[in-house]
Amino acid sequence: MRKQIAAANWKMNLTYQQAIALLQTIIAADITLKENHSVVFAVPFPYLEKAIGTVQHRKNFLISAQNCSDRKSGAFTGEVSTEMLKSIEVNFCLVGHSERREYFGENNLMLADKLNLCLVNGITPIFCCGEALGTREQNQQNSYVERQLRESLFHLTREEILKVVIAYEPIWAIGTGKTASTAQAQEMHAFIRSALKNQYDAAIADQISILYGGSVKAANAKEIFGSKDVDGGLVGGASLNATEFIEIIKALK
């Protein structure tokens, strides 16, 4: 069965003390993961190493960076390379979150470079895609997302694409309290899987985890994750609350 993942994206929230306390509360909770379940925390850079140490004894609890540089190394002040992430044993990295695209000018081609660097360094990229409200209102969401996949992902080999996790996050549902309906999420996830099938093949498409992101909370996680092509979630706001996020983890199928 495909990997089912509950991923927290803390974004630029929490002090170090708050962050580690939150992590400790969650890993101390009575949560039984199935073999194919993973829980991933995308934490701010300065907390990565401590977070890795904190979850180390808990099987299938893993740590992610929220971003990485599209350059290998060198004179790029303030950037963090995938090689640096690898050297402290970071397992995952978010790539192309819509906030990175919108506020920091990240485009599909840069993201292809980031994906390549993650894969070279053994880091699983969680590639984020999704359309803005205007695109959906014009019913252009499929071609928009297909282009994001084509320009950032579809140069990857069959072996490489199997190492990628995809997160569909409709921008109009992020932080708005408005989730995509179960039908809208399932429809887009099935579309992404069919695009993977067309580019690669059915066996590959069937193995890739596709997470949903956008106002996931304890109250709606079970319903959203229940859809056939939804393999868990990438959670912002609700992941900052231990009780909420524990319930979200428990909603994995």
Nearer to ligand 13P, 61 or 168 (CB): 168
For residues 110 and 213, give the distance between their C-alpha atoms in angstroms, rounded to a whole number. 22
| 106 among known catalytic residues | no
| 97 among known catalytic residues | yes
- Spell out the residues 6+ positions from residue 235 whose beta carbon is closer than 8 angstroms to its own: 6, 7, 8, 9, 213, 216, 217, 245, 248
Chain residues binding ligand 13P by CB under 6 A are 9, 97, 169, 174-175, 213-216, 234-238
Nearer to ligand 13P, 136 or 205 (CB): 136
- Pair of tokens at residue 44: 């701010």
For residues 126 and 133, give the distance between their C-alpha atoms in angstroms, rounded to a whole number. 22
Shortest Å, Cβ 213 to ligand 13P: 4
Shortest Å, Cβ 175 to ligand 13P: 4
Shortest Å, Cβ 214 to ligand 13P: 5
Nearer to ligand 13P, 67 or 116 (CB): 67
Shortest Å, Cβ 159 to ligand 13P: 27
Nearest-CB residue to ligand 13P? Answer: 236
Nearer to ligand 13P, 97 or 189 (CB): 97
Catalytic residue of the set 146, 169, 244, 247 = 169
Query: Which residues are the active-site residues?
Result: 97, 169
